[in-house]
Amino acid sequence: MSGKDQKKAAALEEKLELLRSVTKSSAANETSILVDASKYIKELKDKVSQEPEQLGSTSSSMPMPRSEAAERSVDEQMVRHAVLQAIKKCMDGSSI
């Protein structure tokens, strides 16, 4: 494996580890990590869609605290990016 390939593999491994930690996955292989991430993303979507219902019509117009909204956005972006990178790597037929 060339130096460039080793760097790519290390970067992917780092992203998978980040994805594993964000999703609280204990999976050991790429496919299982992606499956866990997919489940985690679905859970997040379900929570987001249920939030307005739980808050009621008057409080749903209140904005989320800025830090919580920013944190949620960053976590979602990290998960999305890591999943896309892992999927791309898997589709290229490469492994870690």
- Angstrom CA distances, 93 to 10, 16, 32, 37, stand at 16, 16, 16, 20
Q: Is the residue at 44 inside a domain?
A: yes
Q: Is the residue at 18 inside a domain?
A: yes
Q: Is the residue at 96 inside a domain?
A: no
**Number of compact structural domains in the chain:** 1
Domain extent, residue 56, equals 3-91
Predicted local distance difference test score (pLDDT) of residue 77: 78
Q: Is the residue at 87 inside a domain?
A: yes
Q: Which residues of the chain have pLDDT under 70?
A: 52-72, 93-96
Predicted local distance difference test score (pLDDT) of residue 6: 92
Report the predicted TM-score, pTM, of the whole model to 2 decimal places. 0.51
